Each structure stands twice: as C-alpha cells, then as structure tokens.
Amino acid sequence: MLAFALIWTATSNGPATVAVVSTLAVVPRILLMLFGGALGDRHGPRRLLIATTAIQFVALVVLAGLSMVSSGVVFLAAAAGGTAVISAFQQPAAVVLPRLLITHEDQFARALARISGSLHAARILGVGVGGLAITALPLIAIFGASAAVVGLSLVVLCSIHPRSNHGRESATNSGASIWTALATGIKSVHELRIWPLLAAVALISAAVLPTVAVVMPSMARSHGWTAAQASLLEAGWATGTLVVTLLISYTGTIPKQIVPMVGGPSLICAALVALALPVSVPAAIALSVLTGVGTAIFTTHIAPTLLRMAPPDQLTRFQSLMAIVQLAPPALLNSPLAALSGTGRGSVALIITAGMAGAAAVTAARGLRRQKSADTPEERTAAPD
C-alpha cells in the first residue's frame, strides 16, 4: 500500500522523481542486505526480525508526522530510502524464520508456496486499497495505516516460538567478523555452482519488478487512466501469482523442473509483448494476470530448489544473497525504464523487459542441465530425498 502510494505520488512530479524514488527504494537493500543476512545468522532471525519490525513501526510514525508538512521530492526520497534501509536487515530474516518452523522436509515446497500466497494476497489488498486511498486521503493516512499493520505484525512475531528441536532458531555467535561471514556465504554459493540459476532469477526480476513498479503506473498515467485503474494492474499481477502459489501449496511442485522454470519465463515474455500493444484497461489487467501466473510458476519451483542447498548455519546469508540477485537488476533498470515509459515510450520498455524474460528461460534451461551433469552417482546416493 505504501509503496504504491509513494510511486503514484512521485508520478505527479515527472519521470525523474519516479526514477529517484524507485531507485532509493532498492539501492539501500542491495548495499546492506548481505550485512542483514550475516547479522541474522549471528543473532538469530527471530530476534533480528522483532528488532527491525519495532524500528519500522517507529519510522512510519515519524514519517506520518513529517508528511503533514511536506510531500515533495525530498520527502518521498527520504521515505523510500529510509524504509528500504530497514527492509535490508528485515527481509532475509523474514524469509528464514518460517523455514525454521517447518518440521518435515516434504512440507517445504508447499509451505513456501503458502507463505508466498499470503504475501501476494496482502499485496492485492494493499495495492488496491492504496490506489483508492491515495485519490481521497492524504499521505499521512496511508503512513498511519501502514504503522498500524506493522504494529500488529510485531505483536504476532513476539508470540511465535519454534517448538521442535528442528525448528529452533539458531544463532552463530562466533568470533568471526561480519566480513568473514559474508565471504563464507559467497564461497558456499560458488561451490554449489548455482550461478546460472541465480542469473535466471536476476533476469526474471529485471523483467517483472520494474514493469510492475514503474512501467505500468507510468504507462497508465500516459494513457489517462485513473490511480484506481493503475492499481488494478499491479493487483492483477499479484492475483495471478496468488492463484498459482495457492495451487502449488496444495498440489506440490512439478517433478520435472525444466517445465516450470522454462515455461514460466516464456509466459511472462509473451504477456509483456502483448501488453506493449495498444490495449484497453481490461485487456491490460488480463495480461498483467498472465504475467503474475508466469512469475509464480517460476518462483514457486526455483525458490525451494535454491533454499534446500543452503548450509544450515548460513540460511540468512544465503537468503540475503538471493534477495540481492532479485533487487540489483531493478535498481539498475528503474531509471532508464521510468524515463522511457514516462516520456510515452512504455511499449519500448515492455519489449525490453520481455526480452529479458525470454533470456531467463534460456538461462534456466542451461542451469538445470549443468546441475544435472554435476550430480554424480555418488552425490545422488548421498543426497536426501
């Protein structure tokens, strides 16, 4: 809700403001997330998540007060950057904590899908409410509502305690420095030889995230659509992802991984190419839904595949590196894509992102082939089912 409100408010100040706000919403996460992962492994994800959520609540209350006196470029940039700094330390722990609550490995993929589904349901509600609220209410109301939701989440977090030995939160309080911890995490990823799969994740993030966050709102404004209509585009994307994640949460993942990991990006590519054509609002929403379907088909299969490979004492660091892979491409592309779409060339921006989705399909196929060739008979025998 807050992210959409900030971007929509920024669009009224031109593409340069959109680029600044969207970039500051991502860059601090890229720069600081590995440190957040190292701290999560050192002190435990639950403790770090509670601390960062409390800080987030205070920050939103302060920003709500400041929004009464300013809603210009400086304030929007400060709000986006400040919340991004907190998220850099919060997000890896938020992903790892549910992982620690899963007591049976065969529940893993379905549990991740249910968690993802709940996030997309919240996104549908939040973006829809944000689109309606920003047209009728000042920013202070949206900051206040966000603070209330974060306060409630803090209460819930404090009540969550892993019960089984398998699910107990671990903390690595070794004397190693943060820099050593970071180097160890990166070395582990390198030894697992999963860079092609991470590259596919990066390409999908580059194709989808800037499109949803920047290109679609700017395209909607250039077409003369309302804020409520623009919010339906992002809500449609979230709806598509929600439907697939809920389905996977009950059926489980497809055993033949190449089908979803190539098919998902291919569907995204086709939907974005069609969205670049002159379409009506209902057609644009339908294509946004298909983009979400393709996104979820890919992510619900690659996420458990990658997280299962993480060493037990490096879960948060591993997750933080995965998050950076997802965030870095949008940080580089938000500005040029905002400039294109903000000057009436949204179709060009969509063709570019469609090309990246197509490249992700090819890269994922190569990564899966490399993993299969590296899986020796001895490794297959030793690997858990």
CA-CA distance, 141 to 209, in Å (whole number)?
Answer: 26
Output the pLDDT for position 63: 92
Output the pLDDT for position 178: 57
Residue ranges in the chain modelled with pLDDT below 70: 105-106, 120, 162-193, 310-315, 317-318, 342, 371-385
Output the pLDDT for position 60: 93
Domains detected in the chain:
2-162+178-374 (1.20.1250.20)
Output the pLDDT for position 203: 92
Output the pLDDT for position 187: 66
Output the pLDDT for position 217: 82
Output the pLDDT for position 204: 93
Candidates 289, 210, 242, 208; CA nearest to 120 is 242
pTM above 0.85, yes or no: no
CA-CA distance, 179 to 184, in Å (whole number)?
Answer: 9
